Amino acid sequence: MTTKIEGVLTAIVTTFDENSEFCAKRMKKQVQRQISHGNGIFCNGTNGEFFVLSQKEKIIVTETCVNEVNGQAPIVAHIGEISTEETIKLGKEVAKLGVDAVSVITPFFIPLNQNELIYHYTKIADELDVPVFMYNIPARTGNTILPETAAKLALHPNIIGIKDSAGSYESLSGFLNAVKGIANFNVLNGPDSLIHQGFVDGCSACISGLANVAPKEINAIWDNFHKGDIEASRIAQESVTGLRTDLYKVAFSPAAVKKAITLMGEEVGESRYPIVFSDQDIKTIKAVIDKYIS
């Protein structure tokens, strides 16, 4: 399988109504907002609050996004669950909906060794008929995919890449170096602070949570790089890095991202997990928006 994912995919927030129920109307608007700026969609990820969604909701969210994208942009859905079997079960349902690929986080809570991770991803990739991305985010799961493990799994015909959200350049470059020379394998950058450098070093795409807040500004990093204007891409990255630093001083994603979008006039609802913003927090987020969003 040779699915190529390029550019910016927004790790899109899952929209809720006033009763904290999924709102398809609001979701469709956010999808179109991203597409209008040239971004693809990554749904049910960390910024999509997959950890507080039921499997039924994940399927509905994916279906809503796929139908709204309607072939206009790439769409990847995250399907990772704590067990191999549940991941496969969800993956088979999601594959029916027409996504370009699925993403699978490492199992969480239970510590696994590298052989167990190889077993997990191999079994999933064997069972699904949709291309699979590994998803490395050790700070949230407690499990790390090592570069040499990624290189072994990259040889599987249905594993087409890895999304690295470890948060460091060392991790990202480790994966890029490990899979160098393996054809049709995509390394996707997760941290918004490393988008430009990731493209320079060979990442095919980025998965951006901040694109929910700044779709145009995030896309400018890719657009300028793709056009060959490396300096303009670097300058666009500097602004995004400032936005990330200042916004996440208040609270981390997805809550800070959702609150910022809401303050920008977009109806996306509140995060489902416990988070409280003070009046000073709101004031600070408004100032960040005024400073960085044109």
- List 58, 121, 135, 259, catalytic entry: 135
CB atoms within 10 A of CB 33: 17
∠ at Cα 42 (25, 251), nearest 5°? 85
Sign of the torsion angle spanned by Cα atoms 63, 28, 205, 261: negative
Is 259 considered catalytic here? Answer: no
Angle, in degrees to the nearest 10, between helices 230-247 and 255-263 = 100
Rg of the chain (C-alpha set): 18
64 in Cβ contact with 27 (< 8 Å):
yes
Burial of 127 (0-12, 13-18, 19+ CB in 10 A): middle
Give residue for tokens 């800070």. 256
- For 37, 213, 240, 290, the CA distances from 293, given in Å and listed in that order, are 14, 8, 9, 6
Is 180 considered catalytic here? Answer: no
Token readout for 75 is: 């769409």
- List 56, 58, 96, 163, catalytic entry: 163
- The residues annotated as belonging to the active site are 135, 163
